[in-house]
Amino acid sequence: MMKRFIAAILLAGACTMAFGQIERPKLVVGFVVDQMRWDYLYYYYDQYGEGGFKRLLREGFSCENTMINYVPTITAIGHSSIYTGSVPALTGIAGNDFMVNGKPTYCVADSTVKSVGSNSKEGLMSPRNLLATGIGDMLKVATDYKAKVFGVALKDRASILPAGHAANAAYWWDTSAGHFITSTYYMNQLPEWAKKFNKTIQVKPGTNVKGVPDGVTKTFQMAKAVLDNEHLGEDSVTDMLTISISSTDIIGHAYGTRGKENHDVYMRTDEELAKFLTYLDSKVGKGNYLFFLTADHGGMHNANVMKQHKIPADGYAAWNEIKPLNATFKEKYGIEKVALMANANRIYLNHAAIAKAGLQLDNVKREVADYLSRNPKVHMVVDYANAVNANLPQLIRERIVNGWNPDRSGDLFVVPKPHNVDGVVTPDYRGTSHGAWNPYDSHIPMVFMGWKVKHGQTSTPTRIVDIAPTVCEMLHIQMPNACIGDAVNEIVNPK
């Protein structure tokens, strides 16, 4: 009996030793550049310094053919999919905004929490609308909740969704306060270091920080403050820091993919990235951290510029169709509002009003689809519930299915013809947008660098949902609970 007892103790000790010998980096850093088209790696290549994007390509492994495998290609969805390895159908993050039970909902809105760090409504946010777990959650579980996980971004959704449910904190920018805040989902008051940091920022409340290059600097400053004051990567337990650069997207929307404004924000991002990587080298140790770069979506080149060079381009806005659509159905059937909302080419029909009018939902969907299809900019209007049978190339059909959450995505999805930006293109339109399946919106960078990563690249097709399982396999932890991606073999098993 005593021998069996001793043997059991020895076996338990051996298992502990075996688990203790699993190699992991001290820190994982996920870096998302909002609206960064894949080709920005090369368009600005000659102007980048040696220590930022060039270093990632020089030392890291680049997946050159990484695509987003759902529509719409939107910020909140991208950030959630990167870290969950999943798609809106399963994560429930169907857009920046969507409808739940007929009620408009912001992706990270949470009325049950309060702002921490300001008195505004900017802090009424949490990850509760996210139905899936993320890398950070799995890292917490794998380390018996000893790992520290933090998110930093100017946009709330770009900080909250990547950090996940169990994060120690997510910090985002409150313009009305002029500094970073969080919510009571994470804590009841800001740490003393965060209060001191906010005082050093010296930004006048109401100042536009998000839409200028200085927003990039502020984001990196906060990331460094978190790294230092929360002591990330300083012990034997792997920690995680998620960083998202929001200014690139805001500037892109306003000024497009070319020109001084876009150039300046990418030069600033490259410069700050180089300094941050150098800091990681000294603070955590070169080779001791795993770093990956990606984007939540791309963006189409400005339609007016394209047209000037005889390249077909225009804009289509589904939301612009709602008023005349509702007027037509009111006159014909007496329905006050047949469509409640259009967002990112998703059409939300008024089920209650349709039923009250004694009409069949399927018949109304067909009639609405026919109405919207008359627009010459529309390729096809797809009934989400029957999308698997849509007469579209399999790739597009799959992305529509992946993007449909029955409770949050609406009823119909409009597929515009190529080179139609999501919006109205006026003669003085300078900006851009995103949301489509097309490569200009769905082709994103994916570069891993650092711990156990060998230099190289591949053109083998990869997807945004492959990032999370790649990180998890490298860490030897379980992938998130809704993950549908695959680890990139060339990264996790380098030759």
pLDDT tens, position by position, for the chain (495 residues)? 444 544 444 444 444 444 456 899 999 999 999 999 999 999 999 999 999 999 999 999 999 999 999 999 999 999 999 999 999 999 999 999 999 988 999 999 999 999 999 999 999 999 999 999 999 999 999 999 999 999 999 999 999 999 999 999 999 999 999 999 999 999 999 999 999 999 999 899 999 999 999 999 999 999 999 999 999 999 999 999 999 999 999 999 999 999 999 999 999 999 999 999 999 999 999 999 999 999 999 999 999 999 999 999 999 999 999 999 999 999 999 998 999 999 999 999 999 999 999 999 999 999 999 999 999 999 999 999 999 999 999 999 999 999 999 999 999 999 999 999 998 999 999 999 999 999 999 999 999 999 999 999 999 999 999 999 999 999 999 999 999 999 999 999 988
Which position among 75, 182, 219, 269 bears the catalytic label?
75
Contact 328, 344 (CB under 8 A): no
What pLDDT, on a 0 to 100 scale, did the predictor assign at position 20?
52
pTM of the model: 0.94
First to last CA, the chain: 49
What is the token pair recorded at 315? 């804009």
User: CA-to-CA distance for 273 and 258, rounded, in angstroms?
Assistant: 21
Active site residue 75: yes
Task: Give Cα 226 to chain centroid, integer Å.
Answer: 21
Which pLDDT score, from 0 to 100, does residue 6 have?
47
Q: Which structure tokens are listed for 149? A: 């996980």
Q: Look-up: residue for tokens 């999805």?
A: 413
Position 261 scores a pLDDT of 98
Q: What are the Cα distances from residue 360, in Å, to 227, 332, 353, 357, 371?
A: 56, 15, 11, 9, 17
Name the strands in the sheet holding 289-294, side by side, starting at the edge strand that comes first in the sequence. Answer: 115-116, 179-183, 169-174, 149-153, 239-245, 27-33, 289-294, 446-450, 61-63, 456-458
Which of 387, 461, 403, 462 lies closest to 435, judged by CA? Answer: 403
Distances 461 to 80, 393, 441, 482 between C-alpha atoms, Å? 21, 17, 16, 21
